[in-house]
Amino acid sequence: MISFYRSMIAGVLLLACSTSPGSGVTPAKDAGPVQVEASVPRAQQPAHWDNEIRSKELLDENPDPAIVEVSLEAKLETVAVPGGPSLTLWTFNGQVPGPTIRVRKGNELRVKVKNSLPEPTTIHWHGVRVPNRMDGTEMVQKPIEPGATFVYDYVLKDEGTYWYHPHVKSSPQVGFGLYGALIVEPELPDGLPEDLPIVLSDLSVDKDEKLAPGNESGGFGDFFGREGKYVLVNGRVSAKVTMRSGLGQRWRFVNAARARYFSLAFPGLEVHRIGGDGGRMEKSIKIQNTLLVPGERAEFFVVATGAAGSVTNVENKSYDRFHAGASPGTSTPLFQVSVSADAAVSKEVPPAKLVTIPRIDVSSLKERPFEFSQVPLNAPTGFGINGKQMKDLEPFVAQRNTDELWTVTNASGMDHPFHLHGFFFQVVKFNGVAPPVLEWKDTINLIPKDTMQIAVQFDNRPGMWMFHCHILDHADAGMMAMLNVE
């Protein structure tokens, strides 16, 4: 299975060719696909279509329509995982994943966080262009002590699918259950169907089916990246969504696992990728499968093509992060999709053109090379950037309000998802080839020897940021660097 960028470059994707304009929701059978439009009313989703998959959302406590104010309490709670074990997890508000936070672009978000955990924590807003002091790293704030509170407060500048997670002892704290989705809707309705956030993660347990200690398997765990026994879809081992044949749904995926890659396949469904890390992409692309690495997001427009009453599964294919030539991937059902008994509607397709993204001009940018590598001089589990672990690296320095051209290469023998805090980038070339569709990214996978050129846009938010591998065990083991934007 190949990653989205590798497959997009290799041209194995089917490019979107959805052009027929639609009107109404029940045209004649042979009318062809119907392109969704904001102005055209659409059929209803089946009754209770999302009951067995959707996570709870937080209610806005502030009457001002421009301000969304919510409360999160990080605390231990015994959770009965649907289809899995019952055990004590680290939760936000007693649930895993933590509640979905939903805001609109331009809103101010205030999150009052209470730490009722036995150790300090923070919240990082992955992908969001927050002011530096709101980034949730130890570079910019003192961790929130047990019993203490902290208010994160910032304005959302971009639509898209984001997520939140602690940034101290990230691998254990995320592994214990601390993560949730942050959905930023555009200012104006985009005409796409109501969305379904789908947070993918996993859960490590010991032989008594209790939560594993977080440092299980010691150095091996650090090196290989810890993958848990239970794979969770919005906190469920057994999740299920119901679709009406022909009617589109918008799925917003987040990979919140600390190390597990998800290689998604969609038999029986027609799937268009419509967005990535930082909101909608320029154009939709029809896909059959996709790789979603830790930290990464992807938005899909999904249509069931099966007959009323049929059942299919979104599948997860095993993925070999070490390229060890392991036997071909097995496919396991990730969640069930059942097609309701409602009469089919004419097959919907997303708009061909989604948004306009200005392309960063890369003709005269400051260039910088970065290399993700194993650091053999240290422990065998040492990982670093440009040959050094985080503790031995000086911060890199960039200037605010400039763009830079970074070349990021994976010089190690295994995959690493590169993630940059605070700023989006555009992929200029991936292994020498320009991607056919523009989108904003903050997390992207590199397999051994992959090299990408990315254009990074530093706006006017100075401060100490960071970039790292999002296999959190690798980040904790040193594959992390600071970036001082002056």
* Site residues (vs ligand C2O, CB under 6 A): 124, 126, 165, 167, 295, 419, 421, 468, 470
Closer by beta carbon to ligand C2O, 301 or else 467: 467
Chosen residue from 416, 441, 461, 468 binding Cu ion by CB under 5 A: 416
Instruction: Tell me the closest approach of the beta carbon of residue 249 to Cu ion, in angstroms.
Output: 27
E strands in 105-204: 108-115, 124-126, 149-155, 160-165, 180-185, 195-203
Of all residues in the shown chain, the one whose CB is closest to ligand C2O is 126
Question: Which residues from 2-31 bind Cu ion, rule CB under 5 A?
Answer: none
* Half-sphere exposure at residue 411, Cβ-oriented, CA atoms within 13 angstroms: 18
Phi then psi dihedrals of residue 62, to 5 deg? -110, 125
Instruction: Tell me the closest approach of the beta carbon of residue 124 to ligand C2O, in angstroms.
Output: 5
> d(Cα 415, Cα 426) in Å, to the nearest integer?
20
Query: Taken in order 175, 377, 417, 318, is the CA torsion positive or negative?
Result: negative
Instruction: Tell me the closest approach of the beta carbon of residue 453 to Cu ion, in angstroms.
Output: 20
> d(Cα 305, Cα 50) in Å, to the nearest integer?
18
Beta-ladder partners of 366: 404
99 interface partner picked from Cu ion, ligand C2O, none, CB below 5 to 8 A per type: none
Instruction: Tell me the closest approach of the beta carbon of residue 137 to Cu ion, in angstroms.
Output: 9
Burial class (CB in 10 A: 0-12, 13-18, 19+), 261: buried
Closer by beta carbon to Cu ion, 317 or else 468: 468
Residue given tokens 């936000």 in the structure block: 92
Instruction: Tell me the closest approach of the beta carbon of residue 470 to ligand C2O, in angstroms.
Output: 6
Tokens standing for 332? 């396991």
Burial class (CB in 10 A: 0-12, 13-18, 19+), 359: exposed
> d(Cα 457, Cα 301) in Å, to the nearest integer?
28
Judging by DSSP bridges, how do beta strands 416-420 and 443-446 pair with one another?
Answer: antiparallel
> d(Cα 38, Cα 32) in Å, to the nearest integer?
19
Instruction: Tell me the closest approach of the beta carbon of residue 128 to Cu ion, in angstroms.
Output: 8
> d(Cα 147, Cα 149) in Å, to the nearest integer?
7
Give the DSSP H or E segment for 261. Answer: none
468 interface partner picked from Cu ion, ligand C2O, none, CB below 5 to 8 A per type: ligand C2O
317 interface partner picked from Cu ion, ligand C2O, none, CB below 5 to 8 A per type: none
Closer by beta carbon to ligand C2O, 182 or else 232: 182
| Cis, peptide link before residue 97, omega less than 30° from 0 | yes
Closer by beta carbon to ligand C2O, 136 or else 228: 136
CA–CA distance from 381 to each of 235, 374, 385 (Å)? 30, 8, 14
Furthest-apart CA atoms within the chain: distance in Å? 68
Contact 183, 100 (CB under 8 A): yes
Instruction: Tell me the closest approach of the beta carbon of residue 164 to ligand C2O, in angstroms.
Output: 9
129 interface partner picked from ligand C2O, Cu ion, none, CB below 5 to 8 A per type: none
Closer by beta carbon to ligand C2O, 163 or else 430: 163
Closer by beta carbon to Cu ion, 123 or else 354: 123
Binding mask 108-137 for Cu ion (x = CB under 5 A): ------------------x-----------
Q: Determine if 466 is a binding residue for Cu ion (CB under 5 A).
A: no
321 interface partner picked from ligand C2O, Cu ion, none, CB below 5 to 8 A per type: none
Q: Determine if 474 is a binding residue for Cu ion (CB under 5 A).
A: yes
Closer by beta carbon to ligand C2O, 347 or else 470: 470
102 interface partner picked from Cu ion, ligand C2O, none, CB below 5 to 8 A per type: none
167 interface partner picked from Cu ion, ligand C2O, none, CB below 5 to 8 A per type: ligand C2O
CA–CA distance from 415 to each of 32, 51, 409 (Å)? 42, 36, 11
Instruction: Tell me the closest approach of the beta carbon of residue 174 to Cu ion, in angstroms.
Output: 12
> d(Cα 253, Cα 250) in Å, to the nearest integer?
10
469 interface partner picked from ligand C2O, Cu ion, none, CB below 5 to 8 A per type: Cu ion
Q: Determine if 421 is a binding residue for Cu ion (CB under 5 A).
A: yes
Closer by beta carbon to Cu ion, 240 or else 421: 421
Closer by beta carbon to ligand C2O, 414 or else 480: 480
Instruction: Tell me the closest approach of the beta carbon of residue 195 to Cu ion, in angstroms.
Output: 21
Contact 392, 479 (CB under 8 A): no
Closer by beta carbon to ligand C2O, 275 or else 295: 295
Instruction: Tell me the closest approach of the beta carbon of residue 118 to Cu ion, in angstroms.
Output: 25
> Which residues in this chain contact Cu ion in the complex, by CB under 5 A?
126, 416, 421, 469, 471, 474
